[in-house]
Chains A and B, each alone.
Chain A
Amino acid sequence: MNAITSRRGLLKAGGALTVAFTVGLGPKGAAAWTEKPVAGDEVAAFLSIDAQGGVTVFVGKVDLGTGVRTGFMQIAAEELDLAMSRIRVVEGDTALTPDQGPTYGSLSIQNAGVALRAASATARRELLNMAASRLGAPAASLRVEDGVVSGGSGRVSYAELVGGRAFDLKVDTNAPIKPPEARRIVGRTVPRVDIPAKVFGRFEYVHDFKLPNMLHGRPVRPPAMGATAEAVDEASIRHIPGVVRVVHQGAFVGVVAETEWAAVRAARDLRVRWSSWAGLPDQARLWEHVRATPVAQVQVTSNRGDAAGAIQGAARRISASYDFAIHSHASMGPSCAVAEFRDGRLTTWSASQATHNLRKQLAMMLAMPVEQVRCVYLEGAGCYGRNGHEDAAADAALLARAVGRPVRVQWMRADEHVWDPKGPPHLVDLRAGLDAQGNIVGWEAEAFIPKGAGGNVDLTAAELGGLPRENQIHPGNIIHNLALPYTFPAVKTTCHRLDTTPFRPSWIRTPGRMQNTYANEAFLDECAAAAGADPVAYRLRLMPADDPRGREVLERVARLANWQARPSPQRERSGEILRGRGVTYCKYELVRTYVAAVAEVEVNRRTGDIRVTRFFCAHDCGQMINPDGVKSQVEGNIIHTLSRTLKEELTFDRGTVTSRDWGSYQVITFPEVPEIVIDLIDRPTERPWGAGEPAAAIVPSAVTNAIFDATGARLRSVPFTAAKMRAALQGA
């Protein structure tokens, strides 16, 4: 059974206690199509208790396949003293859930979970006060077990107390939460609620969602990304039974058919005369193109002392450039959505990680009032960032409007690989000055990355169709972690924010934090090698004295990996297979989750093949809600990022993406996955931080540092392919 409640199921539910509270940056009093309170100081309802004692949790953050739904249930169950089986979760429905911003940045537990905890604790206190007067006993003397309060003259259930009455209550962020020693559910490993249905083939993904009278649509994208459709030959698909409509607006072309296969065939066979276009840069000169792109803004993210002067006067100066390829989200399941117009209102079902934003974008594109649009989240395949889900929703909306019936759109594999927004190319120049003892006296980093932060990624259908859109780029907060968590006497980190980037950009898991950490931590390794110092000891000397948690993750990962202190590269470099180990440390965004890694690699000096054999990680995200859930996220971060580090690279010609499937955009396979050893540090008295991204940040540099240790050759260009390895070995 799907843990997400269907709209019908929810409306049937009736009789609910509504606890209203304020959270985040939700629009106050925004005109809205809502079925219940969702936002604002008084009416933002996150929690309801029905007449049977069932509890519904409403969250604006969504479970992207990460297990966070189970975490939310644990939090509510803990604070309300309920069995988890009484709780269901509604996620990302603009008519039902608060706007808590997109599900990105590893913030679901840290923000939405903490907000839910406060709401639940507030509700519990209020329920206990009500029970106290009912039972004639002081609230402090009452006990709660699975939603039944007992003490004084007897027992009373939450359902009896609430009796279906609506009941407004502001969240008190100071309402007492359970102390660690009283917790029974939070902090313990709990099986994920979604896994059984997924394992028995009974889970309803967005791909499985159907409406009565629903048609199937497919977009027909231009063969060159900037081309327009000059003529569409509808006769070319007349032989396909079941074709309903061809929709053509500017460069937006789509087909609608009675069956899915007819839509697939129609999209494949439709003859369109496209204009020619060749506006992409030459991939072979991508980094020259990046350097030549006009700078829109210069951001200095840290500046202490006179870094340039210190480097100039240093006994030894080193410099290097690190680049990181363009990546696709390359989700396992192509983007999919269903759209329905009814009585002038639009509803979409999609796996959007930001339904509240999607709603505004769709309203803008279709020139509809935002209150006439509802966007509902249904789980899709893992997306790791803003992939094509929103675009599929826009495709479905345009097609549904044209035919007046509900339309389901699912992209084909090539649509996904070519048209999902991309992780932009990321380039960092580094310079350091060392004194005679090898200590860093000055450090300068300059990143060349597109402008913009988080926000809305324009809808492809709007862009192709020439329809209203924001017309801005939003690659995510990619400036983070260029500033370093170390005590250099002089440091300056600068981001050159480029005016354009070759592909519509968006965030992919750990955007910017990963690329910046990779450049910094690999270059720091170069400094340690220049100093003849052990890479772990070198980092420990640079740790701020007032940051013991950073020191601890680094020391713990070194112990976990049985790290032998010595400088890199290692001296024993005979034989065909060379072995080495590399370390990396990161304090996420310099303010939260601490993580450190040791990678062990084998490099075949003849073929250049790189194998990561073992990967160790120490991880401190503060309080853990579901330790096995955290472990699963850390594993996923490591494996996904090893794939990106060793294999993934978007390829393109002057017109379009040429890596259009799993053969041309290769990803990690089972035999290539290393043994992974994880040390999770639990801190039940600290606040919870995110775990969905930080462990990705430490992967690429740990690997290149290990390769250097093994071979003495330094790879500075992701992905680390065998060809680049062979070239570097020849140069070493």
Chain B
Amino acid sequence: MTQTVAMTVNGRAVTVTVDDPQMPLLYALRNDVGAGGPHYGCGLGQCGACTIHLNGEAARSCQIPVAEAAGKTIVTLDGLGTPDRPHPVQAAFIAEQAVQCGYCANGMIMESAALLAKNPRPTEAQVNEALANNICRCGTHPRVVAAVLRAARG
């Protein structure tokens, strides 16, 4: 039984057709909407690679059934900012060179952008706490924290 789900992704109204409403939103974003930012890391809500903004809040798209996204407003990394108009966190990640393989960068940036939206001047400890459930295997942690603090300074 196929059904359609309408949502707004990066300012664009999109409708996806799915045959399983329980399919995680991540697969719809990557394969049907063509969003390049979120990636599959664990499918278990443990790593952060799939993080998006759902109605302004950081959310793990691997844990959200696509049907639940109906009518919601979604921003993905590729819609957060552009090379011409980067989000301050994106600009800071470039300035601090806070990326190695970058597979975690989607989650790091989306989680940090959501943090700064709520708490524009976080302490270093608050940044560490906010990112405590985002995994990076390459060891970019100090640069990520420096980038978030840099973005917060404006």
Contacts and interface: CB of A to CB of B under 8 A. Distances in A.
A635 interface: yes
B13 interface: no
Interface string B121-154: 0000101110111111111111111000000000
Chain A CB count within 10 A is highest, among B31, B40, B76, for B40
A412 B101 CA distance: 19
B27 A261 contact: yes
Interface centre among A333, A636, A670, A675 (most CB of B within 10 A): A670
A382 B138 contact: yes
A380 interface: yes
Interface string B90-111: 1001100101111111100100
Interface of B is mostly: loop
A231 B19 CA distance: 28
Nearest to A629: B97
Interface in B37-88: 37, 39-44, 46-47, 49, 76-83, 86
Interface class of chain A by DSSP: loop
- Please tell me the size bucket of the interface on B: 35 or more
A667 B102 contact: no
B119 to A, nearest CB: 16
Interface in A251-266: 259-262, 264-265
B94 A191 contact: yes
A686 interface: no
Interface in A650-682: 661-663, 667-671, 673, 675-676
Contacts of B93: 195, 199
Contacts of B90: 199-200
Given A662-B47, A671-B128, A207 B137 contact: no
Contacts of B131: 670
Interface residues of A, number: 60
Contacts of A331: 103, 137
B120 interface: no
Given A200-B90, A670-B134, A661 B44 contact: yes
Interface string A76-96: 000000000000000000000
A413 interface: yes
A383 to B, nearest CB: 8
A66 interface: yes
Interface in A591-633: 628, 632
B143 A332 contact: no
Nearest to A189: B97
Contacts of A330: 137
Contact of A265 (B20, B40, B100): B20
B7 interface: no
B23 A640 contact: no
A548 interface: no
B149 to A, nearest CB: 13
A334 interface: yes
Given A201-B78, A333-B49, A381-B103, A412 B94 contact: no
Given A202-B78, A332-B47, A195 B102 contact: yes
Which among A191, A379, A639 has the greatest number of chain B C-beta atoms within 10 A?
A639
Nearest to B127: A670
B9 interface: no
Interface string A3-39: 0000000000000000000000000000000000000
A203 interface: yes
Nearest to A641: B139
Contact of A65 (B100, B106, B132): B100
A245 interface: no
B132 A333 contact: no
A65 B19 contact: no
A198 B128 contact: no
A382 B39 contact: no
Contacts of B79: 201
A330 B40 CA distance: 14
Nearest to B104: A332
Contacts of B133: 669
12 contacts: A199-B99, A199-B105, A201-B78, A261-B18, A265-B20, A332-B49, A332-B138, A413-B43, A628-B97, A662-B42, A671-B129, A671-B132
Given A195-B99, A333-B39, A334-B41, 7 more contacts: A202-B36, A382-B103, A413-B41, A635-B143, A669-B132, A670-B128, A670-B131
